[in-house]
Amino acid sequence: MLEDKNQLRTPLSKLGEFNLIDHLTQHFKITHESTIKGIGDDAAVLNFGNKEVVVTTDFLVEGVHFDLSYMPLKHLGYKSVIVNLSDVYAMNAEARQITVSIAASNRFPLEALEEVYEGIALACKIYNIDLIGGDTTSSTSGLIISITALGEANKEDIVYRKGAKPNDLLVVSGDLGAAYMGLQILEREKEVFKVNPNNQPDLEPYTYIVERQLKPEARKDIVKLLKDLEVKPTSMIDISDGLSSEVIHLCKQSKVGCDLYENKIPLDPQVISTCEEFNIDSTTIALSGGEDYELLFTISQEDYPKIKGNPNLTVIGFMTDESTGMHLVTRAEEKISLIARGWNSFDDNESNA
């Protein structure tokens, strides 16, 4: 971790841009035949043959998307890759390559960026991804990371947000709300630390939800699982902004309505207990929290027997005719219109979920 390297502070100016890129990427190896040329030229060269190519990109900005007072740099590097891979898997595609661009202010020495790249390298190794390029520059406002991810799939395998039909089942992977509640714990402990810097936080009771915030995983396994089960979703999206926002995206793109059942939403026991501790409604957190990076998708009812009982998947509702609207069916069996309350990075009143 960075704490162990505090005695080493190499100014980035000592290396220069190109030497810095060479230094940070020297241990990355090319593993895919489709990567013809990676780092070292004006652009990467890829050959996908008859495959469809998917490309996605995300910014992570210090003070907006992450807080370095509790986000370790290695975890930040890892998470910055994961949030992009999740979008590739949401297309039912296989992620293959990434580019990484970083802007850093002069308060970050070489060793700090090495920590970030250690996390990036770990994600590349675990998810079998090639780093093929990027850029570095200076910043006047802390640390900024931009990653572009590329993936491939057969044309017939690509899944879009549109495609859901009335009576399709709405399915989600994993559980929801943990990342947001992990953030609440970290923010609370940060405030305690401000009052008493000698206080050591006890995060043991919150291990799962804190990890979901600091080191999330992309659901590559779900793409493989569905393929093995011979189930092709009719529509799909990843849950980055909260369940309600993503359901609304699917409905609007597919021109359908939806009944989402409150009592079917999967919640980890640690999420439920922490919501009780904070006196927050767990359904609200699942609907609006964000950063879960689970996959939300629809399937034909004919495919239900194939996924029935699978511990990775939960049916949480079904799609309806567009004219009926989008609703949450509460535990009291009341219908409430779904509203997108996911995180908006341009709204100062929103939390950094």
User: What is the domain partition of the chain in residue ranges?
Assistant: 2-157, 169-337
Residue 308 burial (10 A CB sphere; 0-12, 13-18, 19+)? exposed
Q: Which amino acid is at 13?
A: S
Each residue's pLDDT tens digit, 147-194: 999 999 998 999 999 999 999 999 999 999 999 999 999 999 999 888
**H or E segment and range at residue 254:** helix 243-254
CB 142 within 8 A of CB 63: yes
Helix, strand, or coil here: 175? coil
Which CATH code fits 169-337? 3.90.650.10
Predicted TM-score of the model (pTM): 0.89
Decide if 81 contacts 134 (C-beta within 8 A): no
Spatial separation of the C-alpha atoms in residues 98 and 84, rounded to whole Å: 9
Give me the pLDDT at residue 1, please.
41
CATH 3.30.1330.10 fits 2-157, yes or no: yes
Question: What residues contact 261, with CB distance under 8 A and at least 6 apart?
Answer: 316, 317, 328, 329
The whole-number pLDDT of residue 46 equals 84
Q: What is the largest CA-CA distance in the chain?
A: 65
Helices 207-214 and 269-278 pack at an angle, to 10 degrees, of 100
Give pLDDT, residue 190: 92
Separate counts of helices (H) and strands (E) for the chain: 10, 13
Counting as low any pLDDT under 50, the low residues of the chain are 1-3, 345-346, 348-353
Q: Quote the pLDDT of residue 335.
A: 96
